[in-house]
Chain A
């Protein structure tokens, strides 16, 4: 493929991939964050144990986490049509991406929140803090670094999923790799998409880790 064709193709691919990844991550967090907080609070050792609710949410998260992404992608096509109007393209792919990523994100956040020192939570309780106050003034701020690291990892995973979705018409770099590299044997196109995906992943990683390190107050300067 000539370079003057490659550049616009790749630019569009990168934009599509970024669009899918970032929008999906955003929605996955909008769903996953409240879910994670509920999991932490209602667990048997939580601040407000509700065993039945906890077990139901826990099971749902596990079920969605154990379905391979490609299969989920196909399974939810009817829902994707309902929400996005069509089953292919980058916008449509956001639906299965969010469904796959939200439980994953919820687990990441849950494990970050569980890392918070129980002694600090006890301190807050002893000072008369209510549960919402503990969540917003203790759990989230104290877990900040771990949450940022988790977000970095999650975004990387969602980037990977978005590329995978190219196999079934998902759009973005993944689709370019499949349709040119695999279907039309243009290995050079596939290589370029792979390099671009690696670069994107690196950028996410470096940005995320830098923010995490810069905002962490636990290390002596």
Chain B
């Protein structure tokens, strides 16, 4: 049974000037142990969706079922109880500025009603998990963004939650720090079996750690499923737009005969294009490439400009097909 189940969720914001349908009939199920990415353009409704999962935002209609409990049926105090099982981390960390690192980590446990000695013991464990022992008496203003986010992660972990919701948790961090935080989240997922939901607008976040992904476009769930499936064969326009961001632009530049090759799970370390050039002595021009390495496998696509010679063109196509790649003609818009 799914740990998180969203059934026909809709959310409409009514303001004086307008009504916004932020979520339209979203159904999604997330299993225990998943790292589930939710990706979409700005304003697509990602934050609204994740805030519905812990009922910070009450859906206009539809159900949120967590661990078999329908949130709409819970009393206020039952809901607060449940939220101790569903932690959240945020883009801007949201730490208490007047408390030090230890005080911030303690916060969630104080709310859960834990006793002081137990809290202190748990803080010590958590400081080791997030490697912040030497910073334990610092205040948030004395920490870097990455360190602040690690405090937030420690706080989120403190009450042994089943689920951690991350809303753009790495969007305020530089790429290197982002990778550190993602590695920490992945480690938490694997060692403690905590289910993680990650909201992001960055493709690279999904690639690095997600097992599943849902694509949200203007409040609608465009596609969802395992990352490999969605990335190799995006079906909807919205998914393609996100995954192959600049393809349309590249196609307009085409002059000669062009082919598109699609990678959907080949070994990423096999240098296909180099082999084509070296072994077949065929020169190709890479017009566009958007490939990525997901768990050692290559996904994405590349647009190649072939030499004018027809024999060479056929040889190149034959070679690429041999390597297990899908090859398509790209329509020549220039003529």
On A, residues with C-beta under 8 Å from B are: 117, 119-120, 122-130, 133, 137-138, 141-142, 144-145, 216-221
Q: Which residue of B lies closest to A116 (CB)?
A: B97
Which of chain B's residues 40-61 have a Cβ closer than 8 Å to chain A? Answer: 54, 56
Taking a contact as CB atoms under 8 Å apart, the answer to whether B56 and A125 are in contact is yes
B84 lies within 8 A of chain A by Cβ: yes
Q: Which residue of B lies closest to A130 (CB)?
A: B80
In the bound complex, residues from chain A placing their C-beta under 8 Å from that of B99 are: 141, 217
B278 lies within 8 A of chain A by Cβ: no
In the assembly, what is the distance between CA of A218 and CA of B79, in Å? 32
For A128, A133, A137, which residue has the most chain B Cβ atoms within 10 angstroms?
A128
Taking a contact as CB atoms under 8 Å apart, the answer to whether B111 and A119 are in contact is no
Taking a contact as CB atoms under 8 Å apart, the answer to whether A127 and B111 are in contact is yes
Per-residue interface assignment for chain B, residues 76 to 100, with 1 indicating a CB less than 8 Å from any chain A CB and 0 otherwise: 0101111110111010101111111
Are A217 and B98 CB-contacts (below 8 A) given A126-B88, A130-B80?
yes
Determine the interface band of chain B, counting residues with CB < 8 A from chain A.
20 to 34
Specify which of A128, A142, A218, A219 is in contact with B111 (CB 8 Å cutoff): A128
In the bound complex, residues from chain B placing their C-beta under 8 Å from that of A220 are: 141-142
Specify which of B79, B80, B141 is in contact with A217 (CB 8 Å cutoff): B141
Cβ contacts A to B, 16 pairs, < 8 Å: A123-B94, A126-B165, A127-B84, A128-B79, A128-B82, A133-B111, A137-B107, A141-B98, A144-B98, A145-B98, A218-B97, A218-B98, A218-B139, A218-B141, A220-B142, A221-B142
In the assembly, what is the distance between CA of A117 and CA of B100, in Å? 17
In the assembly, what is the distance between CA of A220 and CA of B144, in Å? 12
B108 lies within 8 A of chain A by Cβ: yes
Q: Give the Cβ gap from A216 to chain B, nearest Cβ, in Å.
A: 8
Specify which of B94, B110, B141, B165 is in contact with A219 (CB 8 Å cutoff): B141
Taking a contact as CB atoms under 8 Å apart, the answer to whether A141 and B90 are in contact is no
Taking a contact as CB atoms under 8 Å apart, the answer to whether B141 and A119 are in contact is no
Taking a contact as CB atoms under 8 Å apart, the answer to whether B81 and A128 are in contact is yes
In the assembly, what is the distance between CA of A129 and CA of B111, in Å? 6
Taking a contact as CB atoms under 8 Å apart, the answer to whether A123 and B88 are in contact is yes
Taking a contact as CB atoms under 8 Å apart, the answer to whether A128 and B83 are in contact is yes
Q: Which residue of A lies closest to B108 (CB)?
A: A127
Q: Give the Cβ gap from A143 to chain B, nearest Cβ, in Å.
A: 9
Taking a contact as CB atoms under 8 Å apart, the answer to whether A137 and B110 are in contact is yes
Which of chain B's residues 223-275 have a Cβ closer than 8 Å to chain A? Answer: none
In the assembly, what is the distance between CA of A219 and CA of B98, in Å? 10
In the bound complex, residues from chain B placing their C-beta under 8 Å from that of A138 are: 96
B284 lies within 8 A of chain A by Cβ: no
B112 lies within 8 A of chain A by Cβ: yes
In the assembly, what is the distance between CA of A123 and CA of B100, in Å? 16
In the bound complex, residues from chain B placing their C-beta under 8 Å from that of A137 are: 107, 110-111
Q: Which residue of B lies closest to A126 (CB)?
A: B88
Q: Which residue of B lies closest to A121 (CB)?
A: B94
In the assembly, what is the distance between CA of A119 and CA of B98, in Å? 15
In the bound complex, residues from chain B placing their C-beta under 8 Å from that of A125 are: 56, 83
Known: A120-B95, A142-B96. 10 other contacts (CB 8 A): A117-B97, A119-B90, A123-B95, A127-B87, A127-B111, A137-B107, A137-B111, A141-B96, A217-B99, A220-B142
Taking a contact as CB atoms under 8 Å apart, the answer to whether A142 and B97 are in contact is yes
Are A123 and B90 CB-contacts (below 8 A) given A142-B97, A217-B98, A218-B97?
yes
10 closest A-B pairs by beta carbon, nearest first, are: A128-B83, A123-B94, A126-B88, A128-B80, A119-B94, A217-B139, A128-B84, A127-B108, A218-B97, A217-B98
In the bound complex, residues from chain B placing their C-beta under 8 Å from that of A128 are: 79-84, 108, 111-112
In the bound complex, residues from chain A placing their C-beta under 8 Å from that of B107 are: 124, 127, 137
Q: Give the Cβ gap from B143 to chain A, nearest Cβ, in Å.
A: 10
In the bound complex, residues from chain A placing their C-beta under 8 Å from that of B80 are: 128-130
Q: Give the Cβ gap from B2 to chain A, nearest Cβ, in Å.
A: 21
In the assembly, what is the distance between CA of A221 and CA of B99, in Å? 15
Q: Give the Cβ gap from A174 to chain B, nearest Cβ, in Å.
A: 38
In the assembly, what is the distance between CA of A221 and CA of B100, in Å? 13
Which of chain B's residues 120-173 have a Cβ closer than 8 Å to chain A? Answer: 139, 141-142, 155, 159, 165
Q: Which residue of B lies closest to A215 (CB)?
A: B98
Q: Which residue of A lies closest to B83 (CB)?
A: A128
Are A126 and B96 CB-contacts (below 8 A) given A119-B90, A133-B111?
no
In the assembly, what is the distance between CA of A137 and CA of B99, in Å? 10
In the bound complex, residues from chain A placing their C-beta under 8 Å from that of B139 are: 217-218
In the assembly, what is the distance between CA of A145 and CA of B97, in Å? 11
In the assembly, what is the distance between CA of A133 and CA of B112, in Å? 11
In the bound complex, residues from chain B placing their C-beta under 8 Å from that of A142 are: 96-98
Q: Give the Cβ gap from B74 to chain A, nearest Cβ, in Å.
A: 12
